């Protein structure tokens, strides 16, 4: 009998050759919502977070949660942040009951629990807006650092409690800090402002023997040596504007690539034989040596015959070519 999707995925994160190729859609990770932290999606209207930020979703963006437009908590002067940003008082919070409810219906033998958070750059963006944050990194560095320290104490409290009561299989953190062309700030600024707090999350995981996965979109490859130094085992979605072949060659299975499929480009492909060939090349490029999770996806509206055809090919290539690749190659 094949091992569980959870154990198979964890083999990949440990740098081992998994029994079969993990897939983003194989059910290895349990889905649950952490209401104390930044929401991932907002399909049912506005969500106000513990720190007072309003997030909204939009159908054309798959309901991904984004700070509500026009709601700038700090205005133009971030020096007043202590009057506006307040972490909730959780001194009498029922942590055990809260997380016990989160675990209901999750099959721990098949699905892994991933504890998230750590989105320090995006959290500050949600407080003051993108442009204001970038300016204040230069103009008010001490206030930025004080704000990060305040936010981190709250985030680390949630991390500690969720880990204690949920006993996760991995620690993950995310911070989308790059565009399609370049990071939003320099490597030096990353190391000065944000890396110390990412490292807190990584150190927490390493002290408990837990693997670490990091989500970062865009051309963020300049940060990868720092991630690996901190102990990161896996990266998603590993978008193709990065030198993924070079990264694979440098790190091998030490940094698992969960992604690497160019959905934007391939969703324009109408030649289905070329589409299938691209999927096979994708697998053959990143599968050798392990450290790879199949994450090809096809966009498009349900019912669109071309999009449905692409999705069928993705499923077929995974099931009949990629899944047992380590047994056949």
For 21-48, the pLDDT digits (tens) are 999 999 999 999 999 999 988 888 899 9
pTM to 2 decimal places: 0.94
Complete DSSP assignment for 265-324: HHTT---HHHHHHHHHHHHHHH-TTS-EEB-----S-TT-HHHHHHHHHHHHHIIIIITT
Residue 249 buriedness (CB in 10 A; 0-12 / 13-18 / 19+)? exposed
Measured distance CA(83)–CA(85) in Å, rounded: 6
User: Is the torsion defined by CA of 89, 154, 54, 78 positive or negative?
Assistant: positive
Q: Distance of CA 49 to CAs 68, 153, 295, 303, Å?
A: 12, 16, 30, 35
Instruction: For 283-318, write each residue's pLDDT tens digit.
Output: 999 999 999 999 999 988 878 899 999 999 999 999
Secondary structure of the chain: what % helix, strand, coil (to 5)? 45, 10, 45
Q: How far apart are CA 212 and CA 192, in angstroms?
A: 21
Rounded CA gap, 136 and 267, in Å?
Answer: 38
List, as one string, the DSSP characters of 69-102.
TT--TTTT-GGGGGGT------TT--HHHHHHHH
pLDDT in tens, 123-150: 999 999 999 999 999 999 999 999 999 9
pLDDT at 1: 58
The CATH number that applies at residue 298 is 3.20.20.210
Would strands 212-215 and 170-174 be described as parallel, antiparallel, or unpaired? parallel
Whose structure tokens read 């219906």?
A: 105
Q: Are 299 and 313 a contacting pair, CB within 8 Å?
A: no
Q: Kindly report, residue by residue over 62-84, the tens digit of the pLDDT.
A: 788 999 988 889 988 899 999 99
| Residue carrying structure tokens 């998603």 | 236
Structural domain boundaries enclosing 210: 5-328
The domain total for the chain is: 1
Separation between Cα atoms, residue 167 and residue 172, nearest integer Å: 13
């Amino acid at each position: 009998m094949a091992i569980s999707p959870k154990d198979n995925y964890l083999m990949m994160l440990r740098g081992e050759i998994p029994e079969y190729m993990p897939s983003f859609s194989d059910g290895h990770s349990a889905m649950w919502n952490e209401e104390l932290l930044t929401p991932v999606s907002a399909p049912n209207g506005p969500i106000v977070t513990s720190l007072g930020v309003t997030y909204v979703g939009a159908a054309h963006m798959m309901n991904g949660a984004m700070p509500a437009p026009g709601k700038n908590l700090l205005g133009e002067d971030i020096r007043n942040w202590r009057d506006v940003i307040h972490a909730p008082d959780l001194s009498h919070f029922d942590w055990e009951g809260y997380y016990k409810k989160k675990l209901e219906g999750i099959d721990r033998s098949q699905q892994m629990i991933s504890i998230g958070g750590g989105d320090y750059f995006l959290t500050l963006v949600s407080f003051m807006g993108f442009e204001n944050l970038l300016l204040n990194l230069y103009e008010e560095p001490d206030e930025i650092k004080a704000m990060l320290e305040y936010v981190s104490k709250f985030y680390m409290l949630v991390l500690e409690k969720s880990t204690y009561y949920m006993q996760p299989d991995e620690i993950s953190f995310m911070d989308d800090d790059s565009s399609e062309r370049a990071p939003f700030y320099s490597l030096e600024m990353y190391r000065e402002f944000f890396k110390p707090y990412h490292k807190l999350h990584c150190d927490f995981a390493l002290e408990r023997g837990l693997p670490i996965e990091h989500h970062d979109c865009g051309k963020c490859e300049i940060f990868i040596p720092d991630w690996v130094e901190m102990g990161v085992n896996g990266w998603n979605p590993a978008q193709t504007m990065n030198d993924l072949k070079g990264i694979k060659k440098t790190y091998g299975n030490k940094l698992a690539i969960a992604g690497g499929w160019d959905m934007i480009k391939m969703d324009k492909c109408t030649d289905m034989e070329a589409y299938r060939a691209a999927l096979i090349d994708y697998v053959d490029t990143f599968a050798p040596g392990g450290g790879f999770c199949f994450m090809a996806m096809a966009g498009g509206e349900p019912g669109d015959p071309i999009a449905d055809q692409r999705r069928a090919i993705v499923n077929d290539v995974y099931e009949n070519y990629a899944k047992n690749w380590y047994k056949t190659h």
